[in-house]
Amino acid sequence: MRFLFYLINGISLGSVYAIIALGYSMVYGIAKMLNFAHGDVIMVGGYAAFTSAVTLGLHPVLSIGVAIVVCTVLGVIIESVAYRPLLEASSSLAVLITAIGVSYFLQNLVLLIFGSNSKSFQSLIRIPGLSLAGGTLVISGEMIVTIVACIVIMLALTCFINRTKMGQAMLAVSEDKGAAQLMGINVNGTIALTFAIGSGLAAIAGVLLCSSYPSLTPYTGAMPGIKAFVAAVFGGIGSIPGAFLGGILLGIIEIFAKGYISTQLSDAIVFGVLIIVLLVRPTGLLGKKIQEKV
């Protein structure tokens, strides 16, 4: 029973990582940028939901909606102000440094507004949990909603990419920006939409994360953001199914490491597994090897 509890808990945590990793994968797959400020967008989503629910007294569903809108707008602003001028940059180092700068800017901005004290985040999920095996196995409502939300988001995103005009435009931009532009596709608009979707997903992940682990600080999104990036690389960055698979596996590995080995060594084990996987399969579990023409 203990094994089953750890497994479900790992899938729940991995679902949060998967939702965040989807944002990383979309932005990298289409814009070829590593948005390391993505983790801090999660934190902003948590604070937006917290402020809406506690300060303004809005209904939980409305609070989640406010968080999604705030993060979506924030994602578009970040893309247009910080990243768009660097699309033609000859070095990816400029994008990386800018992403780190945006990350620290968001952390310090929230620090100035809300202070450094940890906020007690009340869960916005009102669904009752399940009690199985005579009460020896309890699955919380947060776990159920997180797992279901991850599956629904992954399927919806896959359908959007493969079956809509904007999704096809994203695929075209990811293949060749120049050719896509010649075909009449608005490249900048497509990249902005990608950031908007990824940031909206970050808001959902922030609410789910803070509902399951009810503590909110300006640094809440830092480590989950890094682990979600690891999950994206683990599954094959740029691949939506890869982000999903990488997130789930990473969550399971982390929870089992905490439960059976050591809570202090769990992060080291997670990153160690990533190193081993990349040594065997450098493109990740579902990543495709890209052949460059010389």
CATH (domain of 268): 1.10.3470
- What is the pTM for the complete model shown? 0.90
Cα-based angle 225, 199, 192 (whole degrees, multiple of 5): 125
Q: Is residue 183 included in any domain, yes or no?
A: yes
How open is the CA angle 174-180-183, to the nearest 5 degrees?
Answer: 155
Work out the pLDDT band at 90, boundaries 50, 70, 90.
low
pLDDT in tens, 13-59: 999 999 999 988 888 888 777 788 888 999 999 999 999 998 888 88
Domain around 135: 2-280
- How many other C-beta atoms lie within 10 A of the C-beta of residue 128? 9
CB 221 within 8 A of CB 46: yes
| pLDDT reported for residue 13 | 92
Task: Find the DSSP H helices in 51-184.
Answer: 60-78, 92-114, 141-163, 165-175, 177-182
Residue 62 C-beta-side C-alpha neighbours within 13 Å: 8
Q: What is the pLDDT of residue 156?
A: 92
Strand, helix or coil for residue 101: helix
Q: Is the pLDDT of residue 192 over 80?
A: yes
Please check whether residue 195 lies inside any domain of the structure: yes
In a domain, residue 191? The reply is yes
Tell how far CA 192 is from the center of its chain: 17
290 within a domain of the structure (yes/no): no
Least confident of 1-5, 58-62, 112-116, 159-163: 1-5
Number of domains in the chain: 1
In a domain, 286, yes or no: no
Q: Does any domain span residue 223?
A: yes
Residues 61-81 pLDDT 10s: 999 999 999 999 999 999 999
Helix, strand and coil content of the chain, in percent to the nearest 5, comes to 75, 5, 25
Residue 285 lies in a domain: no
Residue 290: C-alpha distances to residues 95, 167, 175, 282, 294 (Å): 22, 21, 11, 11, 13
Task: Answer yes or no: is 222 within a domain.
Answer: yes
Q: Give the DSSP H or E segment for 176.
A: none
